[in-house]
Copies of this chain bind each other. A is one copy, B any other.
Amino acid sequence: MFNIGDFARLGRVSVRMLRHYDAIGLLAPAHVDADTGYRSYAAGQLQRLNRVVALKDLGFKLNEVQAILDDEIGVDELKGMLRLRRAELEAQISADNDRLARVEARLRSIESEGQMSTQEITVKSLPAIRVAELQGSAAGWGPEEIGPVIRGLFEQLGERLRTAGLTPMGSPIARYDQGADNGDAVRVFAAVPVAAEPGDRDGVAVVELPAVERAAALLHHGSMESVMPSYEALARWVEENGLRSAGAREVTLQCPAEPDEWVTELQLPVVER
């Protein structure tokens, strides 16, 4: 028989751990002195302690360890637990490798730039959303070509929503893509979230924008006249990360009278290249 200190040393665990395992019924001492409360462990209990440590090392929680050791678990269930553990570990390793790559990227950028890039670019998913929208067309991607078109569309959209009795339910969204059949022309959409069934309402199309699994997003502060550098940074990031983008969205989060105080989220839906 060993006292708790010696038994802890034998099993390379802390005394506190042994007390904890006792408290949760995972490993009770062979004997407890009725007067002093002193715990005594039998040599043979070292085996159970070793098994506890081994299973814990595999990443099982203590209640799982207990179930396994107390034979509350059939072979098939145990196999399932091990497979689950394997999957969890693989996911964890993969996620940590990604994290590691990001940490190293930050270190590189800090070495080359002398400080951490503000790193304003975020990868997010975009949920599907019901919007009312109008479509137009612009001659190119520059703000001077797109600006008038999108402003005109949003003006019209506002009026038609009023006559249709629809209430905007969120921030306005501008969407752009390369029309399939009209050369260099850019298709432009002015949209605003609404709660209504899809269909046509007084010349406004109510449609469901499909969810986007991954989009690179960047917050643009200030007038849309000056949006090009932000888009360029975003496009460069997409390029450098081996991705490809199709189309673009702008969500206007804040548009007071003063254009310098606008806040717009630029979103580029991306896929692996």
Contacts and interface: CB of A to CB of B under 8 A. Distances in A.
Interface of A: 1-2, 6, 10, 12, 42-44, 46-47, 50-51, 53-54, 57-59, 68, 75, 78-79, 82-83, 85-86, 89-90, 92-93, 96-97, 99-100, 102-104, 106-107, 110, 114-116, 118-120, 122, 124-125, 170, 217, 219, 221, 253-254, 263, 265
Contact of A57 (B44, B86, B92, B102): B102
B57 A116 contact: no
A250 to B, nearest CB: 13
A219 to B, nearest CB: 5
Nearest to A47: B219
A43 B57 CA distance: 46
B107 A263 contact: no
Contact of A106 (B47, B53, B82, B120): B82
A96 B96 contact: yes
A78 B116 contact: yes
Given A10-B253, A44-B221, A79-B107, A120 B50 contact: yes
Contacts of A90: 100
> How many copies of this chain?
2
A106 B50 CA distance: 16
B116 A103 contact: no
Contact of A42 (B50, B75, B100, B254): B254
A53 B96 contact: no
Contacts of A96: 89, 92-93, 96
Nearest to A53: B122
Nearest to A104: B86
Contact of A263 (B46, B82, B100): B46
Most buried by B among A79, A86, A253: A253
5 contacts: A53-B122, A59-B99, A75-B110, A75-B115, A92-B96
Contacts of A46: 219, 253, 263, 265
A183 to B, nearest CB: 36
A118 B69 CA distance: 10
B44 A99 contact: no
